[in-house]
Amino acid sequence: GQQVMQIPQYQHVQEGEDFTTYCNSSTTLSNIQWYKQRPGGHPVFLIQLVKSGEVKKQKRLTFQFGEAKKNSSLHITATQTTDVGTYFCCYNQGGKLIFGQGTELSVKP
Amino acid sequence: DAGVIQSPRHEVTEMGQEVTLRCKPISGHNSLFWYRQTMMRGLELLIYFNNNVPIDDSGMPEDRFSAKMPNASFSTLKIQPSEPRDSAVYFCASSLENNRGGYTFGSGTRLTVV
């Protein structure tokens, strides 16, 4: 069935470096959502993308939805230790959210 | 707004015992979801409700798992009998039906079955 693949699975960066995680689907998605889960915490909603080619920014975070609506990316500029956690992309299928496997980000101070 | 409230936060039980997890969604949210998270399988949707009615329970692992939503402000997930492989973090989440604001997750229940 339809699913989303996230890469990379893990990313270790030095504080101040940029970070990008990618989310790819084999089929067209109606929308995509991104969540962040801190270690030991619960997923927290970041954003939803709906339109083809959409780009949204939240401070140092930039979210993109591909023109074909089959891929998405999350880019963090100048990472900070507070960015540590797992970032999930997910899509809505029949009223329920299906989560990717996530990208775990660690930041070395 | 207190958010989605789950109880207990931690549960340790012996194999074969019944376990009941509880969730209070955000007032006004009419969709409720139960997820299970493990290292091996990630976040899996177990079941979800719209307006207190179960819509899709295809993610429920087996008959040992059951979920109810007797009213708009309360849901339970029951495991009977529990097994060590049920050890995981169980999250409850709620949302508005159109889901444009995303899901709000509770803090989860960490279940350990020994």
Mean pLDDT for the stretch of residues B38-60: 93
Residue A3 gets which letter from DSSP? -
Choose from B103, B104, B110 for mutation: most chain A CBs within 10 A: B103
How far apart CA A23 and CA A29 sit, in angstroms, is 11
**CA nearest B47 in A: which residue?**
A96
Q: Which of A95-99, B17-21, B84-88 has the lowest mean pLDDT?
A: A95-99
**B-chain residues within 8 Å CB-CB of A47?**
102
How far apart CA A98 and CA A107 sit, in angstroms, is 27
**A-chain residues within 8 Å CB-CB of B97?**
95
Q: Output the pLDDT for position A33.
A: 95
Closest to A92 (Cβ–Cβ): which among B99, B106, B108?
Answer: B99
Q: Is A68 left (phi over 0), alpha (psi -120 to 50) or beta?
A: alpha
**B-chain residues within 8 Å CB-CB of A41?**
107
Spell out which chain A residues touch chain B, with contact meaning CB-CB distance below 8 angstroms.
Answer: 33, 35, 41-48, 88, 92, 94-99, 101-102
Helix-strand-coil percent breakdown of chain A, rounded to 5? 5, 55, 40
Placement of tokens 């087996």 in the chain: B62
CB-neighbour burial class of residue A75 (10 A; exposed 0-12, middle 13-18, buried 19+): middle
Placement of tokens 């797992």 in the chain: A86
Q: Output the pLDDT for position B50.
A: 93
Q: How far is CA B20 from CA B45, B90, B93, in A?
A: 17, 11, 17
- pLDDT category of residue B98 using cuts at 50, 70 and 90: low
